[in-house]
Amino acid sequence: MIFNSIEFGIFFTIVFVFYWMFFYENNTVRNIYLIIVSYIFYGWWDWRFLSLIVISSLADYIIGGKIFEEEKQNKRKLLLIISLCINLGFLCFFKYYNFFIDSLIKSFSIFGQKPQISTLNIILPVGISFYTFQTLSYTLDIYKKNLKPTKNIFAFFAFVSFFPQLVAGPIERAKHLLPQFNEGKKLNYENIRSGLLLMAWGFFKKIVIADRLARFIDAAYLDLNNATGLIAVYAVIFFAFQLYIDFSAYSDIAIGGARMLGFNLTKNFNHPYLSSSFSDFWKRWHISLSSWFQDYFYIPLGGNRKGKWKTKINIMIVFLFSGLWHGASWNFVVWGAINGGFLIFLEGVIVKINKYDKRHLISSILVTSLWALSLVFFRSETLGDSLSMFSKLGFSNIESIYNFGLCEAEFKFTLFLLAFLMAIEILQERKENLYNWFISKPVIIRWSLYMIIVLAIIMLGSYGVGLNDSQFIYFQF
């Protein structure tokens, strides 16, 4: 089940009404209800993979308690290794088995050898990368003695499977989200209003902007031979915006939906295209994943505590694994390496530019432009396609630009939507509490905006074959 579907609209409405009518008062009853509806939500796609969530949840619930009780460090470490093997074992098998086998076969073929190993017809479970990291944070924090295990199995199972953020995050830490399943909930009008508005804004970004961008981008990447000059340039720029708008839209809907049920999720994006440097960008982009890699991977590697060159090596290792986390393809590894290189070799240049550019306009444009170029590897199917796209970049072929998914009126409207979105982002950046400013306005102004957003989604949404059930980009990870 995906957010931008009629099924989800019906599902969430029923869940919301029944939740506040019958299940919110008793914590245990409420958590059992959330587990059931979350399993229905996930099982709507393929019920067979619910077994993976159940096994991961049960294993980490038991192991987390054992780690906490165990005093001997070697046994604590063994228990942690078991948790890692179970969770990462599932992830590696379903996501990376065929990638590693293909890579192994190609490596041996260089020397004229052909190992008798075959790939498998494996379906990648939706969201496995997200909920694996989420449940791992529980055992890792207990191992580091930063968290006490819960004795409430229903609260833990609800934490792992909570449907608003199950499929594509935010990746929640146990110490932030898990206690919320043991707290009492009260129907709060302000939470419902702000949550519903955030969900509406997310649907607007996804259906009206991101899916409209997808039509041009998909057409360009499907016809690389003719997507030359400015067509390639716009495809690169548009994808940078599509990825951000699409993913932040999912996060908005997830955070808004959870808020309507009385839960507070982590903010996942903070206007990344207004960043003043590469390090600033990674503090603003996919915050829950960036902080996860920092706390559970970069710092254990040594972080920046072991000298300049060791710090650079650690940064590159983290980005290589981050690239691989995004997808089982060498394209993603290259993408990760490029962004690690930006942070290692260009961060100092950006800092110097900022000394003269106090408003950070030049640095924001430079960081975002280089990020957009790196995303060619993220979007392309193969390394060859990536290099082909780079070779097409130029300023020619403007006469054919309206032949790629968007007519002239649609293309110009898309540019307007991007300008409008960035204007909103700048306004939010400068006016920290834009929401409070908005709700202080007269009721007629507020309801006018509500109606405009709803009508815009209905009338201006990008619908059509292949788009009515358009999945969010990060569902593939």
Instruction: Output the 3-class SS for 235-250.
Output: HHHHHHHHHHHHHHHH
Report H helices in 5-96.
Answer: 6-18, 27-46, 50-69, 73-91
Among all chains, which residue has been given the structure tokens 């003043």?
276
Report H helices in 92-210.
Answer: 97-109, 128-143, 153-161, 163-166, 174-177, 189-203
Residue 393's Cβ-side half-sphere holds a number of Cα atoms within 13 Å equal to 14
Distance separating alpha carbons of residues 2 and 471, to the nearest angstrom: 7
Q: Using the 8-state DSSP alphabet, how is residue 268 labeled?
A: -
**Closest C-alpha to 133, from 165, 99, 181:** 165
Are 160 and 174 within 8 A, CB to CB? Answer: no
Catalytic site includes residue 271: no
Q: Using the 8-state DSSP alphabet, how is residue 199 labeled?
A: H
Q: Using the 8-state DSSP alphabet, how is residue 302 labeled?
A: T
Q: Which residues pair with 253 in a beta bridge?
A: none
- The pair of three-digit structure tokens given for residue 433, joined into one six-digit string: 């509490």
- The pair of three-digit structure tokens given for residue 172, joined into one six-digit string: 């929640």
- The pair of three-digit structure tokens given for residue 10, joined into one six-digit string: 């019906």
CB atoms inside a 10 Å sphere around CB 32: 15
Catalytic residue among 176, 271, 286, 326: 326
CB atoms inside a 10 Å sphere around CB 206: 26
Distance separating alpha carbons of residues 60 and 79, to the nearest angstrom: 10
Question: How far lies 430's CA from each of 271, 374, 425, 426, in Å?
Answer: 11, 28, 9, 6
Distance separating alpha carbons of residues 451 and 425, to the nearest angstrom: 21
H or E segment to which residue 224 belongs: none
As annotated, the active-site residues are 326
